[in-house]
A and B are shown apart, each in its own frame.
Chain A
């Protein structure tokens, strides 16, 4: 079974530029998550989708971050414009069912973003 795929793996941009990350979850998984992991910290949830609807985006900085999950499969996370403090690893995860707390989340390898 293929795991969660993410691209690109690494990205370097200058502040005020825009950037987009792509995630393909495990086939059949209904729930998709985007986490931000700043160096030295644990991951923090940015947004959770169930199928193509948003379940939780309370910690997404909506003035600069946006995310979509078209057709309930792939997802993209965009930052526009980027700030220095956005430098982090962006992790995508997926789970099989409705995103309740007991489910196991499967993580992709992450996209490492450096904003200069």
Chain B
């Protein structure tokens, strides 16, 4: 069985500061990893995904994530956040043969001026 743990439920940060949102996963098989963002009253939008190859993945809006197989982690980072980055962020995992996404509980990023 697969599972995802997002280690922080809320992350407050000041504008233009760097941020890291932490995600750990558990799986007995090879997985694909995703980060989605959800703005208030909207659906989920893909930020980035890791399928294979380079462990550093770059996504939209200046976000990047690093896949660490030995630590089973996929942390999301941004060097300088904006007010507009305030949203809910979800880490998710899927197996190779199924499209089913297993989501973490979510992390609320609160960017303060």
Contacts and interface: CB of A to CB of B under 8 A. Distances in A.
B95 A44 contact: no
Contact of B46 (A35, A41, A45, A104): A104
A112 B45 CA distance: 18
Interface string B58-93: 000000000000000000000000000000001010
Interface residues on A, range: 20 to 34
Contacts of B104: 42
B46 A102 contact: no
A41 B57 CA distance: 25
A40 interface: yes
Contacts of B90: 42-43
A101 B32 contact: yes
26 contacts: A31-B99, A33-B99, A35-B101, A40-B105, A41-B106, A42-B103, A42-B104, A42-B105, A42-B106, A43-B44, A43-B101, A48-B98, A56-B98, A99-B98, A101-B32, A101-B96, A101-B98, A102-B51, A102-B96, A103-B99, A104-B46, A104-B49, A105-B99, A106-B46, A107-B45, A108-B43
Interface of B: 4, 31-32, 36, 41-46, 49, 51, 90, 92, 94-101, 103-106
Ranked nearest first, the 5 interchain pairs of A and B with the lowest CB-CB distance are A42-B103, A99-B99, A107-B43, A101-B94, A107-B44
